Amino acid sequence: MSARPRARWWKPIARLVIFGGTLLLALFWTFDHFFSAAPSASDVAWARRHEPATAGREPKRLWKVPPFRGLTQEGRSIDAAALGGSVWVADFIYTRCTSACPTLTAHLMLLSRRLPPGVHLLSFSVDPGFDRPEVLAAYARRWPRPRLPWTLTSPDPAGFEQFMRDMNVTVDRSPDDAADITHSNQFFLIDGDGWVRGVYDSQDDVDLAALTRDAATILGAAAPAIADPSATGGDPRELGHRLYADLGCSGCHTDARTAPPLGGFGARQVALENGTSVATDDAYLRAAILQPWAQVVRGYSASMPSYEGALNEAQLGGLLAYLESLPAPATAPASGTAVDPVCHMTIPVVDTTPRIQRGPTTYYFCSSACRARFSDDPERYRAVSAR
């Protein structure tokens, strides 16, 4: 008679312990990976907006500006160590952009009028292979000389991706078009020790006011009073012309792909994104300057900064007088928007927009490069109609 097998009671317990331990390790890794990772710049900006405001409190240190090397618009070398000793407001742009970047720079120009002396402006290119020093210099010439020092730089392409990750900035480049780059639209406040002290939404007036206060707190200086050029008297149109140049209005409005061309006001109407049209009289222009989101011209986005609080009544009156004296523009505004079937970017349709007619359908493109790709393989892209 054979002996009864001895009960192996410990085996199920061992399996349970092994399974449970493995599960705990997996949960720990998941928590560490997803919840302990550095937040994106957008997350930081969102969290800061929802913190209770405390007047005069210094913003906390967030992270150190990572090492980088690059060339400025003058061809000079610059690195992270060169930021030491100064307070900086930084942003991320690229010169081939015809949408978000010019409006981001317009916000930076306006911000330079409100920040205290001692702050420096810094624009990093997210297209370092294209934005060589001479290209950056040409972009800077599109804008007025700001009241604060402005440095543009392209980080070394070899360390670019690591620098962006360590700055918590997301940069997405389209695989179909090197000129289609999605990136951060935030401003970054950097102190004299190279620490990021705040991240601010460039499209939010409350955020920009907080940036001005935080920069002044770090510097221990008051924000400057806005100078009043109207104190010298003279022709209001001359005052408006100076303000038009000083505010950098031409940086956007000379390119119909970015903003509607200016001129011929009073004698024409403009079509709006909401499907209506409006007379371009004094009331329309005043609202367009102070509340640009209220009546958006068809084919464009509500990305223009508001100049409410940046201009006094005399300045506003001078700017209106100058704008009303401009002749009708030679370039037509956008007739609407279209989706590029290659890179899927939404673009304003203007006279110079690259296009291809295929039967009854017109396809519009953000660049000649996308148009060429479409021509090489139209069946691949024809499923996406631009109009």
Distances (CA, A) of 348 to 45, 258, 308, 352, 354: 29, 8, 27, 10, 11
Q: What residues contact residue 27 under an 8 Å CB cut-off, 6+ apart?
A: none
What's the confidence (pLDDT) of residue 341?
Answer: 87
How do the pLDDT tens digits run along the chain, 387 residues long?
Answer: 444 445 455 555 656 655 555 445 444 433 443 334 455 555 555 455 545 555 567 889 999 999 999 999 999 999 999 998 999 999 999 988 877 888 889 999 989 888 998 999 999 999 998 999 999 999 999 998 888 999 999 999 888 989 999 999 888 776 666 666 777 889 999 999 999 999 999 888 889 899 999 999 998 865 555 554 444 457 888 999 988 888 888 888 888 888 888 999 988 888 898 889 999 999 999 999 999 888 989 888 877 888 888 888 999 999 999 999 999 988 888 888 888 888 777 788 888 888 999 888 899 987 777 888 888 888 888 765 434
CB neighbour class for 322 (10 Å; exposed up to 12, middle 13-18, buried from 19) = buried
- Phi and psi at residue 141, to the nearest 5°: -70, -15
The domain 46-219 belongs to what CATH superfamily? Glutaredoxin (3.40.30.10)
In one-letter notation, the amino acid at residue 284 is Y
Q: How many CB atoms lie within 10 A of CB 81?
A: 11
What's the confidence (pLDDT) of residue 35?
Answer: 39
Q: What residues contact residue 211 under an 8 Å CB cut-off, 6+ apart?
A: 89, 111, 115, 187, 189, 198, 200
What's the confidence (pLDDT) of residue 81?
Answer: 92
Q: Which tens digits make up the pLDDT trace of 57-112?
A: 788 999 999 999 999 999 999 999 999 899 999 999 998 887 788 888 999 998 98
Identify whether the C-beta of residue 305 lies closer than 8 Å to the C-beta of residue 107.
Answer: yes
Q: Would the CA dihedral through 227, 228, 231, 234 be positive or negative?
A: positive
CA–CA separation, 124 vs 228, rounded Å? 32
The structure's pTM equals 0.71
CA–CA separation, 348 vs 102, rounded Å? 14
Identify whether the C-beta of residue 347 lies closer than 8 Å to the C-beta of residue 370.
Answer: no
Of 224, 216, 186, the closest CA to residue 55 belongs to 216
Identify whether the C-beta of residue 110 lies closer than 8 Å to the C-beta of residue 305.
Answer: yes
- Ordered by start, the domain boundaries in the chain are 46-219, 229-324, 337-381
CA–CA separation, 129 vs 126, rounded Å? 9
Topology of domain 229-324 in CATH is Cytochrome Bc1 Complex; Chain D, domain 2 (1.10.760)
Distances (CA, A) of 40 to 47, 176, 193, 215, 236: 11, 25, 21, 21, 46
What's the confidence (pLDDT) of residue 62?
Answer: 94
What's the confidence (pLDDT) of residue 2?
Answer: 45
CA–CA separation, 212 vs 214, rounded Å? 6
What's the confidence (pLDDT) of residue 25?
Answer: 47
- Give the tokens for residue 71: 């060339």
CA–CA separation, 218 vs 58, rounded Å? 6
